[in-house]
Structure 1
């Protein structure tokens, strides 16, 4: 049998060589896909933009956040521009298309969210006007978890209590203090060494407990006391904070119950847990209405003194998700759960692991890198 025709065909067949531009395109596509998978399911880099976690985390810290610890959350808004969270840089337009939305699902993780964990999560208030962002496209916040579903949380004189017991305070936690001197001003170098801060617009210095104890022993300190609001001095906190329009529907019922809470004396409040049934009345409805309507997607109406959920009168509600209570370590300069309430489990992004870089924008050029913070484990 003559195989020459086959050999000839085989000999003349040549693989088309890719052009340089095609090779570059293939490499870029592969890199984008690989990086997206890593960011979505394994680990992602974040930066600290505000002082709400100082002095545990500093403005200018760059972190790695694990998606594996609590289980990777699958994309809920899958059509999005790579590496842009919710807004396109420069042109300031949406970086996603919300025409396709997928249900919340989380792959198995190493552990549940625990009290004391430093957690990155989506800011729940971005669900409201004017942004109306999908869950996974809401702004990233970082706070410390103070309570989990089923816990009863209260704050008494700036001390957090969980189920009646004082919670362990982070070693670098800060609050504001009132300071009076004998007339001799404090040495600025001493304040800098103790990391005592005076934020823009603030009237009281902010410091850790260790710094407070050190300053207390100085001869020119006449008095130094924590600047803590008294019990019964009502403040604009959740669930009656008028600064957040989303709580406005609660105010009708809230006025029937006098919530005399503030940032330093708050609660007690029960954090919702999946499967927990709460009785709805003038006390509980203002606290849990946002969870029921916004986070668990029910239509809630108030008709007279009746509460209607999806058109039916209800005197109780069973929660579908676990919730968490998040607070900043810089207790008097933190926008956290005391102002806007609970964080639902579908908002949890990941656990902060360690600082890989830290840059001080206020320092001189040769001192900008905080070398002592590189690869610092986050506790």
Structure 2
């Protein structure tokens, strides 16, 4: 296939669905570990077309959603400072902190700017040397190389007024934490293709063997997801637990060596708290000692943050795959995209936002 619309071909989709129905005899719970995959599944109604024996569980694959509340509150505190230009991707501006969000800080006079690359923030720092420029560096392994490059370039060019507020998280430790949970029902995983395009697939075979679960790397279009589901179901029905790459057009087994070298230079592995889940050991990155001078958290000494989550928001359970968004009593009522109580509703990759956008009326009104 050469063109994107071919990956939505209805005849090919029906053929894959027929194969999935034919292969399915048991009851299987599969988790997609990517918010983009969640949105594609809900948008195209893929979960509704699958056999009754297959349940799709939405995992903690939205980077905005899992950014811990304490880090959001630190971002807000830094953004309030008059000497700071605070730069971020647009999807972080409405993520609620304990009391405010970045839009509120901007409306109160804070210099909060939306950029499309961390290198845009670096250029702002070069153009305005009298100001402190902070970029909010969040996300999984996918966005980390560009953030690492920005810090690497700042150090090389001697741009001392640039820093990074880091909250990067890693997928394999999250899979491990999910499988170790006493409430885990997951029997197979769809791994995120864009993460594997950076890191490769070498981290997944030990997980598949240890937890006896198939892990299939897949993309984001309807046919990608259906092929990933088909391969996962076939493995489960045959009693296999292997890593398969169903996204070879984008994912080489070794990943991207140049990106991995940049990550190894700039970051080091650390324990990381995930919003709604808690601390997962060695599940994130922080700046390595070589780049510690560019750590915004250290530069601005943000301490004494008291966090306060919404008392009625159940986004943590959504992130862990324990409930579907409509099972939260606030969904579509107190919590909407205009008035989000949790990051899963405001993020463009959040599960709650997907259900609200594509299936709110039939699910909420039926309740």
Q: Is TM (by shorter chain) over 0.5? A: no
Greater share of helix residues, 1 or 2?
2
Greater share of strand residues, 1 or 2?
1
Please, what TM-score do these two structures have when normalized by structure 1?
0.27
Please, what TM-score do these two structures have when normalized by structure 2?
0.28
